[in-house]
Amino acid sequence: MKLSYVALFGAVVLSLSACGSDSGPSKKDAGSDARDTAAPQPDAPADRATPQPDTPIPGSDTAKPQPDAPVVDTGPTPLDVPQPEIDGAQPGIDGAPPTVDGGQVSEAGQPRLDAGVIVLDGGIKVNGAYVELRRENFQTGIDAGATATDLFTIRNSKGLFAKITNLGAKFEQIVVPDRNGVFGDIILGYESIAAVDQGQGSMGAFISRYANRISHGKFVVDGTTYSIKVNEGAPKNNLLHGGAKGSRFRVFDATQISASQVQMTLTHLDAEDADPANGYTGFPGTLAVKVLYTVTEANEIKVEYSATTTKKTVINFTTHSFFNLGNEPTTPILDHVVMVNADKVLEINDRLVPTGVLRDVTGTPMDFRTAKPFRQDYAANYDLLNLVGGGGAGVAAGYDNHYALNKTAPGALELAASVYEPLSGRKMEVWSTEPGMQLFTGTNLTGQVPRDKGKGGVVFQKYSGFCMEPSHFPDSPNQLSFPSTVLIPGETYEGKIIYKFSVVP
């Protein structure tokens, strides 16, 4: 059987034009998962799944795609300009040096940030901030070379390509065009496996076995208390993104299926994170996770993931790329214009753990139902922002909050959010089958080297990137009113997330 939350065989689509009771997630042929009065389902009409803001993001009238259906052709854009067919290794994409039109290349063969337009083989133009990632720099392995690693390129014939390492199944590069048809890298990442290993653990990662927070690293399944050593220290004392044995620190087995598709698998062993001497049981069950990345001819990147377990357990999954849709990675994301399709946001305590209350966003800085730039309210004197900033009034420092997405049905693939970057013209839509989404404005990026030194030597500072992380709610195993994250043997957990890109003229 397959669970109704299609979140374990999730799909992230990049297109160009941080639960409940032990009853387990509801099955695909079962009814919707219920919430009590502390977590009501909003009575929004079906068209709230694709809200039309009073001041819409340019291009937000794009037709709503159906899951696994072709993207609707809304007319010519720079994405529709014919691109040469891409067959085999491509200079500047798969390892050979690019040529530069009016710019410069550094001694290491990398384009400098002050370079002009770079022309890759086949005529694809990329901006001067583009940095070529060389596969050999990701094949040196970790643990003194004892664990093999690699870098995989997936692409289509229209110019879109992405590079993913099997360490953490992490996106290191996603290249999409701006409104002028010049391609650019729109995620933060690293130039080598050594840099990835020393870098931000979550950056670009596929997160398992439990994304976001579990309070004190403890939960109960069928009357048995399980505990995992916390990795988010005092005073928070939470398990974050699965702890020390989470997937972001693990090397996946990877198979390149075709030029447009790569599959990655990882097995979390039963109680592999146990520490009996210190009272930690670890997660129950051997959890088999599969992740499938695909670039389509509709200019989409799909990330489909699935999981099964040998024992009743709890699971939660997401993808964790840091996006910056502008043309310069050093420019903060505060002027990105954002819409979030959510009437409710999760209330949190001073440990950033949900209280169980879903708070109405109306009239608060948390309301993104009408598109607005991050800058408008990111520093507002509001408790949910002050808690993220450090716990005191007036110390807000951006968003790190989880939204309860408006849903017409559990597990439905619907619009979660959209983002527009005015200077580049790039727009991103986030579609998801998940019930919630963490909105994060990169406050953990603090310029620490080597952790925050990325591609092209750029040092990541606060607000260098933002994350939109669709998933189940944080601490769901300890909140009976939240949708359940329990998985039982014999069932498969599946889901889809879509990051879809378009270009606004």
Phi first, then psi, for residue 456 (nearest 5°) are 70, 15
* DSSP strand pairing (2-6 vs 492-503): parallel
Ramachandran region, residue 168 (left: φ > 0; alpha: ψ -120 to 50; beta: rest): left
Q: With CA atoms as reference, report the closest residue to 10 among 291, 281, 328, 305.
A: 305
CA distance 73 to 65: 10
CA distance 377 to 27: 39
Hey, is 503 helix, strand or coil? Answer: strand
User: Does 402 qualify as catalytic in the annotation?
Assistant: no
User: Which residues, 6+ apart, have CB-to-CB distance to 138 below 8 Å?
Assistant: 149, 150, 151, 165, 172, 192, 193, 196
Computed over its alpha carbons, how large is the radius of gyration of the chain? 21
Hey, is 24 helix, strand or coil? Answer: coil
Within 10 angstroms of residue 123's Cβ, the number of other Cβ atoms is 10
Annotated active-site residue in 232, 469, 491, 494? 469
Hey, is 413 helix, strand or coil? Answer: coil
Within 10 angstroms of residue 464's Cβ, the number of other Cβ atoms is 22
- Per-residue HEC secondary structure of 95-125 comes to CCCCEEECCCECCCCCECCCCCEEECCCCCE
Residue 298: C-alpha distances to residues 73, 260, 293, 303 (Å): 9, 12, 14, 15
Annotated active-site residue in 232, 241, 268, 320? 320
CA distance 3 to 411: 9
User: Does 191 qualify as catalytic in the annotation?
Assistant: no
CA distance 179 to 8: 34
DSSP string, 297-318: TTS-EEEEEEEEESS-EE-B-E
Return the residue matching tokens 């005073």: 235
Q: With CA atoms as reference, report the closest residue to 435 among 481, 393, 488, 379.
A: 481
Ramachandran region, residue 5 (left: φ > 0; alpha: ψ -120 to 50; beta: rest): beta
Hey, is 331 helix, strand or coil? Answer: coil
Could you tell me where the beta strands, DSSP code E, fall in 121-215?
125-126, 151-155, 161-165, 170-177, 183-185, 205-207, 213-215
Query: Are the CB atoms for 162 and 14 separated by under 8 Å?
Result: yes
Q: Which residues are catalytic?
A: 320, 469
